[in-house]
Amino acid sequence: METIIKQLEKVKLRKPILVEGLPGIGNVGRVAAGYLVSEMKMKKFAELYSPHFLPLVIIHDDSVSHVLKNEFYYCKSKNRDIIILTGDTQSISPEGHYEICEKILAFAQKLGVSDIITLGGFAEGRVVEEPRVIGSVNDKKLLKIYEKYGIDFGKEHSIGTIVGASGLLLGLGKLYNIDGVCLMGETIGLPLVTDPKAADKVLQVLAKILGIKVDLSRLEKTIKEMEERIKKTDKIHKKILQEMPKPKEDIRYIG
Amino acid sequence: METIIKQLEKVKLRKPILVEGLPGIGNVGRVAAGYLVSEMKMKKFAELYSPHFLPLVIIHDDSVSHVLKNEFYYCKSKNRDIIILTGDTQSISPEGHYEICEKILAFAQKLGVSDIITLGGFAEGRVVEEPRVIGSVNDKKLLKIYEKYGIDFGKEHSIGTIVGASGLLLGLGKLYNIDGVCLMGETIGLPLVTDPKAADKVLQVLAKILGIKVDLSRLEKTIKEMEERIKKTDKIHKKILQEMPKPKEDIRYIG
Amino acid sequence: METIIKQLEKVKLRKPILVEGLPGIGNVGRVAAGYLVSEMKMKKFAELYSPHFLPLVIIHDDSVSHVLKNEFYYCKSKNRDIIILTGDTQSISPEGHYEICEKILAFAQKLGVSDIITLGGFAEGRVVEEPRVIGSVNDKKLLKIYEKYGIDFGKEHSIGTIVGASGLLLGLGKLYNIDGVCLMGETIGLPLVTDPKAADKVLQVLAKILGIKVDLSRLEKTIKEMEERIKKTDKIHKKILQEMPKPKEDIRYIG
Amino acid sequence: METIIKQLEKVKLRKPILVEGLPGIGNVGRVAAGYLVSEMKMKKFAELYSPHFLPLVIIHDDSVSHVLKNEFYYCKSKNRDIIILTGDTQSISPEGHYEICEKILAFAQKLGVSDIITLGGFAEGRVVEEPRVIGSVNDKKLLKIYEKYGIDFGKEHSIGTIVGASGLLLGLGKLYNIDGVCLMGETIGLPLVTDPKAADKVLQVLAKILGIKVDLSRLEKTIKEMEERIKKTDKIHKKILQEMPKPKEDIRYIG
């Protein structure tokens, strides 16, 4: 099985910009993307399924279950239409990250996307009073465009890498001639702990870039509502290791 | 090598329903499926082989060995014909689960299957005096259909995910327009311990759904007879780790 | 890259029988196969390369290195021609075992092979004074044919599985309509320790089956000569783990 | 996604020889190759991307990020033109090493390459006062050609294997009729510690073979300048393990 993107609705978008917010450090990207989807009343138009996700379904409170997936939402906007990519999970294998990001980029290209904004958290390893939004771009020319939005472009921190979709969509995006910027909200970086403050800062910058108005007053409340489902997903991995009859070890040997 | 399904006999089935019972928590699914196959005198008509199973053969008491496989059985029934999928093992890799489930779903679709029932155990982590049968569906409309059979649809428990074939056949089944319900018998959830009580409860519900009569009085006896072979399979993994010169470890799980 | 078999010489073989002896428990299979190749002055006619072997070359004493491989040898014989498959290693991944065995079986079928004999060790976990040769077949009808050769078919031992090529060539061989028997010499089963006694017993049975005469008096001496190279291969895995700058862990995460 | 080589410039090379220097023990190969690229003012003409690299981008000091890659450089030279292959990383999976090396060899063959020189370090496990350059070839006939350059061909050391690209390009190169020699500078073999002395010795031998003059006086200074970026790459793995919510482990190695 290959990673597949199932389009639910044919859409015609004007100069669309793709914003990615998937689970990661502090859940910053996922929470920010989820809040936008809800505040902008965006509409889902495509779903992504992958054999590189954990092989399981999540059961909702109404006893209906669905297999892990990523989702594409869109809305019309004044200047440019907006696509948001969010979802339950990221690849659990390195190769899977590459395959999934390639599928996303090919799909984005088909939709006419020429710009990507990826959202994430940057683990500081300590409590951050006033989280900055740290940025990285996949082309030097973009620094000029983005530095007016209050993004911190690498003067006072020593971040070295971006792992997963937020990084690869930038790096591989270059091969698709898609410009990319990654916005990372500073956060303590504890596993399984959502950081609303960092998400708030990222959303402020993002709204400025997209030229939209977002009422952030409901963010903390929305996050609390999302927490239940987020926790379910976050606990999946731990659960698997505990619940499973007998974690299978891989057989590798030189005999 | 890809996962392959080798059809041994051409069958023509009337509105067939597929019941999956593979090894997992408490061996509930496998034991229930195996008992049905034996009691209903079902006939094997297809076998599934996969590179995502452990690379080994099981030696039977008569010194004849066979490679790990899953098996499809069928029988004619009053209202709808029944297909049962059972076997030695599940995938040992996450990607493998997806590939195998896709092959099963494509095969089921070819046979005209529009409904799947997957069987499993739900690990309570404690001794369960009166095991319930907990359910999940892949479409809301199914709740109405199935709630009359005494299935517990999520009121008093907090199950969050279903791992492996029992989950994926539901989740991916949705993409094939196949309706699915998962029946999970509550069990203590000890590794390598078969739970006849949970299997009994699952079989009672299943018989009602399928509209068949199954004499469950021989279940405990049959399980004892199956134990020998089940133990062989269950011990495979431990044996491998001991016999092999130096295996490296990787965390895999079977749901 | 896929597993490939590179044929070095076109051969025309009469009713050929394939004998597999690759590294494994006690190095029984590999040593027995290697001794036969040398005593029968067999000729190499094909090589197998696979991405499922460790990614390394072995350096010989003359500073010439070669990538890990398996090798096919043949010789003409009175009744039926003999093919021997031996080599440096087996697959390091479960999926790889399946792929490699499939390639071997397809190649064997092309050469007209209808019978396979796989050789291995059976780890008893204790010193064995008089090692038996334990057998398993992939079809019941073969018991009659092979039980006259002094093979122990499962009465007094409790072996349950055969892992790797010796098992899969039997199990998957069935799908190719190739009859197979596995001969396992009882051995203590210590990692990295070659057992000449078990290899001797296996060779005695094998010679009877093949209807050839093999002078086994040079076996211990030959094994000593092979030891040097065997040790190099056996130590590969340990070396890798020690020498490598930084064993890389796999990144898997649910973020 | 497959490993891809993206050619940036069409080149016509005269009897080109390919020199590989990727990260590995003591960073010997990478540092030597990097110094040659800089001293010879070589020009980049192709890039290699692979799903078998870690799924991340490296952020440079100017906040521009790029996805992990290998790079091909060339320069014209008196006798034969020179291609250098260097880069950020090697495959993190065994299968990936095979795939990547095959792509490199097919690309080299297309460019008319008939000889490969691979560079690496040989971990002695102790401080080496006067590091030797130890060699291995993929064909006996090459010993005569290379033994005049002061390479130590296996008399006084007990090296047994070469892991990763430096080994596989030799071993698989044989299948492409490409002659290969591996030059390994003796080094202590500490993880993440670059050894300029070993690189110096390897460069001396390499310059003689290539018939070029290289001023090695700037080597230590250049290495210091490279250190910053090298460290960033070297620290990637550690960072990943710390930052990620909960990675599972698998043993991988880079040779």
Chain A touching partners, 3 or more CB pairs below 8 A? B, C, D
Give A227 to chain B, closest Cα distance, Å.
Answer: 14
8 Å CB contact of C135 and B66 = no
Written as six digits, the tokens of C123 are 């780890």
As a whole number of angstroms, the distance between CA B196 and CA B31 comes to 8
CB-count exposure of residue D127 (10 Å: 0-12, 13-18, 19+): exposed
Per-residue model confidence (pLDDT) at position D191: 63
- Cα separation, D199 vs D184, in Å, equals 9
Closest-CA residue in chain A for B248?
Answer: A252
Which two tokens mark A205?
């910058």
Identify the pLDDT of residue A235: 59
Q: Would you write out chain B's pLDDT as a tens digit for each of its 255 residues? A: 899 999 999 999 999 999 999 998 888 999 999 999 999 999 999 999 999 999 999 998 889 999 999 999 999 998 899 999 999 999 989 999 999 999 999 999 999 999 999 999 998 888 888 999 999 999 999 999 999 999 999 766 666 889 899 999 999 999 999 999 999 999 988 766 788 899 999 999 999 999 999 999 888 887 777 766 666 666 554 544 443 333 223 222 223
Q: Is the dihedral of CA C100, C101, C103, C104 positive or negative?
A: positive
Give the minimum alpha-carbon distance from C226 to chain A in angstroms, rounded to a whole number.
Answer: 15
- Please judge whether D245 and A91 are an interchain contact, meaning their C-beta atoms are less than 8 angstroms apart: no
List of chains touching D (3+ CB pairs within 8 A): A, B, C
N- to C-terminal Cα distance for chain B? 23
Question: From CA D5, how far away is CA D15, in angstroms rounded?
Answer: 21
The residue of B7, B63, B229 whose CB has the most chain C CBs within 10 angstroms, and thus the best one to mutate to test that interface, is B63
Greater confidence (D70 vs B253) lies with D70
**Contact residues on chain A for B54, CB-CB shorter than 8 A:** 248, 251
CB contact under 8 Å between B59 and C159, yes or no, is yes
Lowest-confidence segment of B143-152, C239-248, D146-155, D229-238 by average pLDDT: C239-248
Residue of chain C minimizing CA distance to D159: C59
Q: Is the confidence at residue D240, as pLDDT, over 60?
A: no
- Please report the number of interchain residue pairs, chain A to chain B, with beta-carbon separation below 8 angstroms: 163
The whole-number average pLDDT for the span C154-175 is 86
Q: Do C59 and D160 touch (CB under 8 A)?
A: yes
Q: In angstroms, what separates the C-alpha of B82 from chain C's closest C-alpha?
A: 27
Question: For position A192, what pLDDT does the model report?
Answer: 66
Per-domain residue ranges of chain C: 4-243
The C-alpha atoms of residue C220 and residue C197 are separated, in whole angstroms, by: 9
Judged by CB atoms closer than 8 Å, whether chains meet at A56 and B182 is answered as no
Q: Which two tokens stand for residue D171?
A: 């071993």
pLDDT at B250: 29
User: D206-209: long-range contacts at Cβ-Cβ below 8 A with a sequence spacing of 24 or more?
Assistant: D206/D19, D206/D32, D206/D36, D206/D117, D206/D119, D208/D149, D208/D150, D209/D117, D209/D146, D209/D149
Tokens describing residue D13: 């090379």
Q: In 3D, which of C38, C39, C42, C30 has the Cα closest to residue C86?
A: C30
- D248 and B248: CB-CB below 8 Å? no
Task: Give me the pLDDT at residue D154, please.
Answer: 75
Q: Do D252 and C254 touch (CB under 8 A)?
A: no
Give the type of residue at C97.
Answer: H
C132 or A226, which is more confident: C132
Beta-carbon count within 10 A of D179 CB: 20
Other C-beta atoms closer than 10 Å to the C-beta of C34 total: 23
B7-44 burial: b if 16+ Cβ within 10 Å, else e: eeeebebeebbbbbbbbbbbbbbbbbbbbbbebbebee
Q: Can you tell me the distance from the alpha carbon of D243 to that of C163, in angstroms, rounded to the nearest whole number?
A: 38
pLDDT at D19 over 70: yes
Say which residues have a Cβ less than 8 Å from residue C140's Cβ, sequence separation at least 6.
Answer: B62, B64
C154 contacts B55? CB cut-off 8 A: no
List, in order, residues 6 or more apart from D73 with CB less than 8 Å away.
Answer: D37, D42, D43, D44, D45, D83, D84, D86
pLDDT computed for residue B240 by the predictor = 44
Q: Do B65 and C137 touch (CB under 8 A)?
A: yes
User: How far apart are the C-alpha atoms of C220 and B241, rounded to whole Å?
Assistant: 29
Cα–Cα distances (Å) from C38 to B194, C218, C234, in that order, read 51, 10, 21
Question: Lowest-confidence range among A30-39, A129-138, A235-244, B64-73?
Answer: A235-244
Q: Looking at CA atoms only, how far is residue C94 from chain B in angstroms?
A: 5
Question: Do the bridges between strand C17-20 and strand A82-87 make them parallel or antiparallel, or are there none, so unpaired?
Answer: unpaired
- Residue B206, token pair as written in the block: 């299943």
pLDDT-derived band at D183 (thresholds 50, 70, 90) equals very high
Q: What is the dihedral of CA C23, B88, B67, B71, to 10 degrees?
A: -160
Q: What percentage of chain C exceeds 90 in pLDDT?
A: 67
Q: What SS3 state is found at A128?
A: coil
Query: Would the pLDDT of A112 be above 90?
Result: yes
Mean pLDDT for C25-41 is: 93
Q: What distance in Å separates residue C41's CA from the closest CA in chain B?
A: 30
Q: Which residue of C has its CA nearest to B241?
A: C163
Closest-CA residue of chain D to C252:
D247
Q: Report CA B56 to chain centroid distance, whole Å.
A: 21
* Count of CB pairs separated by less than 8 Å, A with C: 55
Q: Which residues of B touch C (CB under 8 A)?
A: 1, 6, 49-59, 61-68, 92-93, 96, 232, 235-236, 239-240, 242-246, 250
Q: Check pLDDT > 70 for residue C133.
A: yes
Mean pLDDT on D225-250: 50
Given an 8 Å threshold on Cβ–Cβ distance, is D160 in contact with C232? yes
Contact C167 B92 (CB under 8 A): no
Look at A172 and D54 and tell me if their CB atoms are within 8 Å. Answer: no
Is residue D16 within 8 Å of D112, Cβ to Cβ?
yes
The one-letter amino acid code at A207 reads A
Q: Do A247 and B244 touch (CB under 8 A)?
A: no
Q: First vs last Cα of chain C: how many Å apart?
A: 31
> Cβ of C167 and B51 within 8 Å?
no
pLDDT value of residue B230: 64
* pLDDT at residue D245 in the model: 32
Q: Check residues A123 and B250 and name the one with the higher pLDDT.
A: A123
Predicted local confidence at residue A252, as pLDDT: 23
Mean pLDDT computed over A20-46? 94
Helices (H), chain C: 28-39, 94-110, 141-146, 165-173, 196-210, 219-243
Residue type, D35: Y
- CB contacts of B249 in chain D (<8 Å) are 249
Q: Are the beta carbons of D70 and D87 closer than 8 angstroms?
A: yes
State how far the alpha carbon of C167 is from the alpha carbons of A211, B58, B114, C148, D10, in Å.
64, 9, 37, 22, 50
> Is the Cβ pair C89, A254 closer than 8 Å?
yes
The confidence score (pLDDT) of residue A190 equals 74
pLDDT in tens, D109-163: 999 999 999 999 998 888 888 999 999 999 999 999 999 999 999 766 666 889 8
How many helices (H) and strands (E) chain A has is answered by 6, 11
Which of C143, C164, C189 lies at the smallest CB-CB distance from B63? C143
User: Which residues on A lie below 8 Å from D49 (Cβ)?
Assistant: 172, 175
Look at B251 and D251 and tell me if their CB atoms are within 8 Å.
no
Length of chain A: 255
Span A5-9, mean pLDDT?
97
- Please report the pLDDT score of residue C32 as a whole number: 95
CA distance A68 to A64: 13
* Residue numbers in D near B251 (CB within 8 A): 248-249
CA distance D174 to chain A (A): 23
Chain D residue with CA closest to C230: the answer is D160
Of C49, C63, C246, the CB nearest to D237: C246
Topology adopted by domain A4-243: Rossmann fold (3.40.50)
Which residues are CB-neighbours of B180 under 8 A, at least 6 positions away? Answer: B115, B116, B117, B118, B137, B138, B139, B142, B169, B170, B173, B174
Contacts of A25 in chain C (CB under 8 A): 255
Average pLDDT over residues C54-83: 93
Residue A48: the pLDDT is: 98
| C197-227 residue pLDDT tens | 999 999 999 999 999 999 998 888 877 777 6
Q: What is the pLDDT of residue C87?
A: 95
**Amino acid (one-letter) located at D134:** I
pLDDT confidence of residue D190: 74
Instruction: Write down the pLDDT at residue C234.
Output: 60
Reported confidence tier of residue A230, pLDDT bands at 50, 70, 90: low
Question: Residue D156 is which amino acid?
Answer: E
- Tell me if C160 and B240 make a contact (CB, 8 A cut-off): no
In this prediction the ipTM stands at 0.89
Closest Cα in chain C, distance from residue A146 (Å): 27
Q: Give the separation between CA A146 and CA A206, rounded to whole angstroms.
A: 11
Q: C: neighbours with 3+ CB pairs under 8 Å?
A: A, B, D
| Residue C61 CB neighbours (<10 A) | 11
Instruction: Give exposure, B122-160, as e/b (b: 16+ Cβ within 10 Å).
Output: bbbeeebeebbbbbbbbbeebbeebeebebbbbeeeebb
Instruction: Determine the residue among B92, B95, B246, B250 to mutate to test chain D binding: the one whose Cβ has the most chain D Cβ atoms within 10 Å.
Output: B250
* Poorest-pLDDT segment among C166-175, D87-96, D99-108: D87-96
Tokens of C189: 């089963």
Main-chain phi, psi angles of A52, to 5 degrees: -95, 5
Chain A closest-CA separation from residue B244 CA (Å) = 7
Least confident residue range of A97-106, A187-196, B114-123: A187-196
The residue-averaged pLDDT of A56-85 equals 94
**Sheet containing A161-163: order of strands:** A161-163, D56-59, D65-67
The percentage of residues in chain D with a pLDDT greater than 90, rounded to a whole number, is 67
Partners of D255 on chain C (C-beta within 8 Å) are 55-56, 244
Nearest to D65 among A97, A136, A192 (CB): A136
Chosen from C25, C90, C98 to mutate, greatest number of chain B CBs within 10 A: C98
**Cα→Cα distances C116→B48, B148, C128, C142, D127, Å:** 23, 56, 27, 12, 52
Interface with A, mutate which of C161, C230, C252, C254 (most A CBs under 10 A)? C254
Q: Do B137 and A63 touch (CB under 8 A)?
A: yes
Indicate the average pLDDT of chain D.
87
- CB neighbour burial string for D73-86, b if at least 16 within 10 angstroms, e if fewer: bbbebeebbbbbbb
* pLDDT number for residue D65: 94
Instruction: Give the pair of three-digit tokens for residue B68.
Output: 């790990």
